[in-house]
Amino acid sequence: MNILIVVDMQKDFVDGALGTPEAVAIVPAVAGKIRQYRAAGDVIIATRDTHGENYLETQEGRTLPVVHCVRGTPGWQLDAAVEEALGPDTIYIDKPTFGSLSLITQVGEYAALVGEENVNVEIVGLCTDICVVSNALLLKAAWPEMPIRLDAACCAGVTPQKHAAALETMASCQIRIS
């Protein structure tokens, strides 16, 4: 069983409040990857960073005082090209912080069906050095025998240097980087 996890490909991270040229540049590759998985009939899970109106009052908001991904706002929405590629069978997980325990549970349901070693996970999305690495390491900790890989060309970090550092960290933790 193959699962594609699309992390936080939202407007605020692509070309909005926290967007970067690198994030904009990966959109076509991410949309293409999603279409490949859809054509094969594989499972696709998309996460959305989701904050409330009180974001600036949270620990994250006090540390990163840039309002972003507030539920229902244009910046919370997925990038249009990514959303179009996802299609109707996508499983959505709204997460209030960097990593998602709900994502771990959802992937675990598939592992229970076919066996941990028979679930192949691929991760793409934003930001490599924050939410992508958090979810990749949570998955690896929960499912150590599950093959997990990351497509570096379908991820972007806050900066190119942080992207590279996160890739190195994940590779050290036996997440295959392609």
For 43-85, how does the pLDDT look when each residue is reduced to its tens digit (9 = 90+)? 999 999 999 999 999 999 999 999 999 999 999 999 999 999 9
pLDDT of 98:
97
**pTM score over 0.95:** yes
pLDDT band at 104 (very low <50, low <70, confident <90, very high): very high
- Answer yes or no: are the C-beta atoms of 103 and 109 closer than 8 Å: no
Tally the domains of the chain: 1
pLDDT of 118:
96
Domain residues for the domain of 145 are: 2-177
List pLDDT tens digits, range 114-170. Answer: 999 999 999 999 999 999 999 999 999 999 999 999 999 999 999 999 999 999 999
- DSSP per-residue string spanning the chain: -EEEEEE--BHHHHTSTT--HHHHHHHHHHHHHHHHHHHHT-EEEEEEE-B-TTGGGSHHHHHS-----BTTSGGGSBPHHHHHHH-TT-EEEEESSSS-HHHHHHHHHHHHHH-GGG-EEEEEEE-IIIIIHHHHHHHHHH-TTS-EEEEEEEEE-SSHHHHHHHHHHHHHTTPEE-
pLDDT of 94:
98
The whole-number average pLDDT for the span 31-51 is 98
pLDDT of 111:
95
**Dihedral Cα 52, 74, 22, 64, nearest 10 deg:** -20
The whole-number average pLDDT for the span 24-44 is 98
pLDDT of 56:
97
CATH code of residue 13: 3.40.50.850
pLDDT band at 178 (very low <50, low <70, confident <90, very high): very high
Using the Cα atoms of residue 114, residue 34, residue 122 and residue 107 in order, give the sign of their dihedral. Answer: negative
Q: Which residues contact 115 (CB under 8 A, 6 or more apart)?
A: none
pLDDT of 67:
97
The whole-number average pLDDT for the span 8-17 is 98
